[in-house]
Chains A and B, each alone.
Chain A
Amino acid sequence: MSAEPSGTLLVDYDEATRRYDPVIGIEVHVELGTATKMFDGAPQEFGGEPNSATTPVSLGLPGSLPVVNEKAVESAILIGLALNCEIAELCRFARKNYFYPDVPKNYQISQYDEPIAHDGWLDVELEDGTVVRVEIERAHMEEDAGKNTHVGGATGRIHGAEYSLVDYNRAGVPLVEIVTRPITGVGDRAPEVARAYVQTLRDLFRALGVSEARMERGNVRADVNVSLRPTPDSPLGTRTETKNVNSFRSVERAVRYEVSRQAAVLDAGASVVQETRHWHEDTGVTTAGRVKSDAEDYRYFPEPDLVPLVPSRDWVEALRARLPEMPAARRRRLQDEWGYADAEMRDVVNAGAVELIEATVAAGASPAAARKWWMGELARTANADGVALEELTVTPGQIAELQGLVDSGRLNDKLARQVLAGVLAGEGSPEQVVAARGLEVVSDDGALIAAVDDALAAQPDAAEKIRGGNLGPVGAIIGAVMKATRGQADAARVRELVLERIKA
């Protein structure tokens, strides 16, 4: 056992999972990428001036009335279908009543006992290829809250804040909340499953085109429920809910932390408190929030300002026909087309390089060459710079162009890497870097022959040996020529020329 800063006892993770069976449940909120909000025509923009994207509806002004965004409903149905859910024949919106300044109406319009989609599943593939089926309890529509900024107080945290400032641009942005059933039977892999599940959902949202699903912008937010029980046959233990875990890595860490913390609580003979907990990205710990409210405390009731929603079966089927290829099926198809081994494909997926390689291949490179660049030189660069592959300032088109220069013999591997460095440094396209830096392979035999003759003349001993049939020193001559041409010669051609000129 070890104690972390606040004095919380933790049990070593492996030890904890040897003695307890973790059960997790995940709620994911995704902001839909509609042009307007859920219940009014205010534009949905990221990063605008504060309070510049509101209407009387999104401010909750008296007398304003909500009207449902048809595209948001379509997106919710698409998500439901992609999660193999049943789409409700009739569903309603409900008021969830609570007082918090980021909710201007003093209630959030959500759905309660009649969600638009329910009873589905999603297959989640772990890094080693294991597939875990996650059961989906429901997916429902609701609206996002505004954003609070706490002012004053030493730490910027709520306690000690003198007042808060509220921006309602995000208030009313359409959300779909997806709730899993308890995920059991995954044992010590619970953190990995939690992470893979959220990652799979993110890929799904993008494939469906319902959201940009950018984690760093909070488009996708996860609440992570964790409980422990002595054995897989025991009833479910008391759970905690860690709110707003907003990166894949944090989802994994938060589950691990809660498993270690709860194991220590149970080991001490105490009970886990059912509560909301806060995730602290910087320190990697959770801390207690408020004790979980009873569902009745929200005093849900059917939203009187909205009529029921009855998605016609024709509409649902038309949307089903529009479902794109799902990410997992797409990965299998691409692996097939590209001829990658399982391990190679897994590395590509884990590196987030599928789209990049697909685009590079589409731009004319071979799958093998595309993989070599993105998983080799570019992965190293991204890693060294601490950025994602897709954030590198090079496009798949440029990589295909670079490979084209190699394939046509105008660049060798070494020169190609120098050209790539130029492209990454913002010097333009590969062609432009080649021209500006003069990096092309010297294919002019005249110039090469002169360099070879010079090298042979400079190393008469080596030349004599080669003439005598000893090919050992050929490498030294080639090296001298490469040096003289600043690496811009084609080594194979130089070799041919050395053997030719030696007889001259």
Chain B
Amino acid sequence: MSTISREEVARLAGLARIDLTDAELTRLATELDVIVEAVATVSRVATDDVPATSHPLPLVNVLRPDVVVQPLAADQALAAAPSAEDGRFAVPQILGEDA
């Protein structure tokens, strides 16, 4: 019994702006199912005294002092821009979104 439907994969793909074919949707739904099942197995093993882990390194508080570094020059920043104008990145028209 699949817990991840093709529709859910399609919705996630839409949110992530990934274009998937029907065949890919079917294949990914099956693969994601396996991953979800594996995570569920871990969840069954992890008891309340096992803290949630979000990072493989056992480190906390990696901070830097508030010291300015040399920024990129504007032309360097724009060097890889597909399109630029007036020292700014030019991007396609934005529709149906907030300002």
**Are B90 and A148 in contact, CB atoms less than 8 angstroms apart?**
no
Q: Chain A 298-336, CB within 8 Å of chain B: the 1/0 string?
A: 010011101111110000000000000000000000000
**Are A53 and B71 in contact, CB atoms less than 8 angstroms apart?**
yes
Q: Chain A 411-429, CB within 8 Å of chain B: the 1/0 string?
A: 0000000000000000000
Closest Cβ–Cβ distance, residue B41 to chain A (whole Å): 20
* Docked CA distance A163–B64 (Å): 37
Closest Cβ–Cβ distance, residue B92 to chain A (whole Å): 6
Chain B residues near A168 (CB-CB < 8 A): 77, 89
Known contacts A51-B87, A165-B88, A41 near B67 by CB under 8 Å: yes
Known contacts A163-B90, A166-B89, A92 near B71 by CB under 8 Å: no
B1 within 8 A of A: no
Chain B residues near A90 (CB-CB < 8 A): 60
Q: Chain A 49-79, CB within 8 Å of chain B: the 1/0 string?
A: 1111111100101000001111111000000
Residue of B65, B73, B80, B93 ringed by the most chain A CB atoms within 10 A: B93
Q: Which stretch from B20-28, B30-38, B42-50, B51-59 is at the chain A interface? A: B51-59
A69 contact from B60, B64, B90, Cβ within 8 A: B64
Chain B residues near A157 (CB-CB < 8 A): 99
B19 within 8 A of A: no
Known contacts A35-B68, A54-B71, A158 near B94 by CB under 8 Å: yes
A68 contact from B64, B69, B71, Cβ within 8 A: B64
* Docked CA distance A311–B15 (Å): 34
B61 contact from A148, A164, A276, A309, Cβ within 8 A: A309
Could you tell me which B residues sit within 8 Å of A by CB distance?
A: 12, 15-17, 54-55, 57, 59-69, 71-74, 77-78, 80, 85-99
**Are B77 and A51 in contact, CB atoms less than 8 angstroms apart?**
yes
Q: Which residue of B lies closest to A312 (CB)?
A: B61
Known contacts A42-B69, A52-B74, A69 near B63 by CB under 8 Å: yes
B88 contact from A36, A166, A243, A289, Cβ within 8 A: A166
**Are B97 and A56 in contact, CB atoms less than 8 angstroms apart?**
no
Chain A residues near B89 (CB-CB < 8 A): 51, 101, 165-168
Chain A residues near B61 (CB-CB < 8 A): 307, 309-311
**Are A158 and B88 in contact, CB atoms less than 8 angstroms apart?**
no
Q: Which residue of B lies closest to A74 (CB)?
A: B66
* Docked CA distance A43–B69 (Å): 7
**Are B69 and A158 in contact, CB atoms less than 8 angstroms apart?**
no
Q: Which residue of B lies closest to A157 (CB)?
A: B99
* Docked CA distance A165–B90 (Å): 5
Q: Which residue of B lies closest to A315 (CB)?
A: B61
Known contacts A166-B88, A307-B62, A97 near B68 by CB under 8 Å: no
Residue of A68, A165, A297 ringed by the most chain B CB atoms within 10 A: A165
* Docked CA distance A178–B38 (Å): 37
Residue of B72, B80, B97, B98 ringed by the most chain A CB atoms within 10 A: B72
Chain A residues near B88 (CB-CB < 8 A): 50-51, 149, 165-167
**Are B54 and A49 in contact, CB atoms less than 8 angstroms apart?**
no
Chain A residues near B98 (CB-CB < 8 A): 100, 243, 276, 278, 289-290
Q: Which residue of A lies closest to B75 (CB)?
A: A51
Closest Cβ–Cβ distance, residue B40 to chain A (whole Å): 17
B57 contact from A41, A161, A307, Cβ within 8 A: A307
* Docked CA distance A302–B62 (Å): 16
Chain B residues near A216 (CB-CB < 8 A): none
A297 contact from B15, B67, B77, B87, Cβ within 8 A: B15
**Are B99 and A278 in contact, CB atoms less than 8 angstroms apart?**
yes
Chain A residues near B85 (CB-CB < 8 A): 151, 165
**Are B17 and A99 in contact, CB atoms less than 8 angstroms apart?**
yes
Q: Which residue of A lies closest to B88 (CB)?
A: A165
* Docked CA distance A92–B51 (Å): 13
Closest Cβ–Cβ distance, residue A173 to chain B (whole Å): 12
Chain A residues near B96 (CB-CB < 8 A): 290
Apart from A71-B65, A306-B55, A309-B60: 5 A-B pairs, beta carbons within 8 A? A50-B87, A159-B95, A165-B91, A290-B96, A310-B61
Known contacts A289-B98, A307-B62, A299 near B15 by CB under 8 Å: yes
**Are A308 and B95 in contact, CB atoms less than 8 angstroms apart?**
no
Chain B residues near A55 (CB-CB < 8 A): 69, 71-72
**Are B77 and A59 in contact, CB atoms less than 8 angstroms apart?**
yes
Known contacts A41-B68, A51-B78, A158-B97, A164 near B90 by CB under 8 Å: yes
Q: Which residue of B lies closest to A61 (CB)?
A: B80
